[in-house]
Amino acid sequence: MNKKRLLSVLLSAAMVAGTMTMAVPVAAEETEEITWMFWDDLEATEDLISKGYKEVIDRFNTEYEGQYHVTPITTNLEEYDGKLNALIAAGQTPDVYICNPGPNMDVYVNAGAAADLTDILQNQEADWYASFTDGIFERMTYDGKIMAVPTNFAAACVYYNTEMFAAAGVEVPATYDELLEVCQKLQEAGYTPISCSAGTAWCLSMIAGYLCDRQGVDLQAIADHTANWTDENCIAAGEKLKELSQYFQPTAAGDSNDQATAAFYNGEAAMLVQGSWAIAQINGNNPEFEEKCGVFQFPGIEGANDPNRMIVKTDNLLMSSTTEHQDAAIALMKMFTDETAQKYTAEVGGKFPIIKDLEINYDKAPAQLKYVQDIMANATGTFGFYNESLVSVEAGDCFDNAMVDIFLGNQTPEEAFQTVQTFYEDNVWE
């Protein structure tokens, strides 16, 4: 067994090397321990919003030292829901956990894994409740019960390269037809008009979602089966997606979200449709780009729906319905939504705060945030990401995939929406 012994010596040498980095936090005995579950590694992350969350956690543990202590449970994004489900199924629901809005949150609310926060917010912590932006709880309310607290929200807009627009002699388009013209001129001037990722399906589906909404697709009516996915307005949106996609970069089909965004901030394409979280990514990777990056809202379609509706998305905190440390959990959620955290969200993270009367120093904040803010001021309504607004996560994926198929040319818009229609017939409308 000499070789095995050698092996163990080798490996234990590696162990000793590793021990140096060990540091186990020791909590005082009477401290209330809670857990918070999140979808990014707080130590290794490059994402500015995640870094902001880490600051909140550190602040919480310092401020409440001896009283409360929170330990984050982190996974990567892909495995987040699987792991959270396993924990809930096993009766180990984290005290506070983050969640996307829409069908994802429905799952946890319907399973009884989330605590009803209505009473806490409206009565016990009325001041806290009053600090939130009006109407922000709309998508977190189930049968009149508030089930979550938002930490920020982001809006999807079109980012554009002002230099390229000037060089091609084009102005910001207000309608879809103008957008096509702009694309055409940009292309003639030798630029790639739009950078988009179909490799990451939700990026493409964001454009599709805007087109559907601009065409007047009513998701609630579809969910109630008073409208169909095969209706004219859906098909028209699909055709416009196909039309617009000829102006995407040639590698759009395979590029990931990161690559598509990188193509934009590296000056390889003139426009990018993204959520405002991309601001942090753009400025973080190419600081010089900030001054030539403009923002406009997704153009409307003439003679169709209201052109001032915006795609927005909140990050939400849910509290476990079975938590034994409600006070600690509430204190943590309050810290996520206090002024310090919210200021960070806006000025560094590039997402929108969810509390009122917050003074944002726009000189410190990324320039684009102000543009998005101005657009939001004119917004007449908001709606969610399409894949997060359908009846289930699976339905959202089905929609995303159908859009990818339209883009790749594997299916005509009619065929693609028929797939979604069939999915609804088989799974939703039964």
User: According to CB under 8 A, which residues from 137 to 196 bind another protein?
Assistant: none
Token output for 79: 């495995």
Residue 190, CA distances (Å) to 16, 120, 177, 179, 261 in order:
58, 58, 20, 17, 19
Q: Is 58 in the site for another protein (CB under 8 A)?
A: no
Residue 92: CA atoms inside 13 Å, Cβ hemisphere, count? Answer: 8
| CB 291, min distance to another protein, A | 20
- What is the radius of gyration, based on Cα positions, of the chain? 24
Return the axis-axis angle of helices 232-245 and 176-188, rounded to nearest 10°. Answer: 20
| CB 142, min distance to another protein, A | 15
Q: Which stretch in 39-47, 119-127, 178-186, 346-354 sits in contact with another protein by CB under 8 A?
A: 39-47
Among 150, 199, 294, 413, binds another protein (CB under 8 A): 199
The answer to whether the beta carbons of residues 345 and 351 sit under 8 Å apart is yes
d(CA 142, CA 145): 5
Among 29, 359, 426, 430, binds another protein (CB under 8 A): 426
Q: Is 97 in the site for another protein (CB under 8 A)?
A: no
Q: Which stretch in 13-21, 60-68, 125-133, 306-314 sits in contact with another protein by CB under 8 A?
A: 13-21
Nearest to 403 by CA among 227, 212, 185, 154: 212
Closer to another protein at the Cβ: 137 or 386? 386
Q: What angle do CA 150, 307, 240 make, to 5 degrees?
A: 105
The answer to whether the beta carbons of residues 120 and 232 sit under 8 Å apart is no
| CB 273, min distance to another protein, A | 16
| CB 244, min distance to another protein, A | 19
Q: What residues between 252 and 271 interact with another protein by CB under 8 A?
A: 253-259, 262, 266
Closer to another protein at the Cβ: 1 or 377? 1
Nearest to 182 by CA among 167, 193, 190, 192: 193
The answer to whether the beta carbons of residues 210 and 272 sit under 8 Å apart is no
Among 88, 148, 155, 375, binds another protein (CB under 8 A): 88
Q: Strand pairing of 149-161 and 269-275?
A: antiparallel
| CB 363, min distance to another protein, A | 25
Q: Is 324 in the site for another protein (CB under 8 A)?
A: no
Please count the residues of this chain forming the interface with another protein, following the rule CB under 8 A. 79
The answer to whether the beta carbons of residues 353 and 345 sit under 8 Å apart is yes
- Read out DSSP for 176-207? HHHHHHHHHHHHHTT-EEEE--SSSHHHHHHH
d(CA 182, CA 330): 50
Q: Which stretch in 32-40, 154-162, 171-179, 366-374 sits in contact with another protein by CB under 8 A?
A: 32-40
Closer to another protein at the Cβ: 124 or 256? 256
Q: Which stretch in 69-77, 135-143, 232-240, 353-361 sits in contact with another protein by CB under 8 A?
A: 69-77
Q: What residues between 204 and 263 interact with another protein by CB under 8 A?
A: 251, 253-259, 262
d(CA 310, CA 373): 12
Q: How many CB atoms lie within 10 A of CB 46?
A: 11
Q: What residues between 386 and 415 interact with another protein by CB under 8 A?
A: 392-394, 397, 401-402, 404-405, 408, 410
Taking CB under 8 A as the rule, which mask of x and - marks residues 278-297 in contact with another protein?
Answer: ---x----------------
Closer to another protein at the Cβ: 131 or 314? 314
Q: Is 107 in the site for another protein (CB under 8 A)?
A: yes
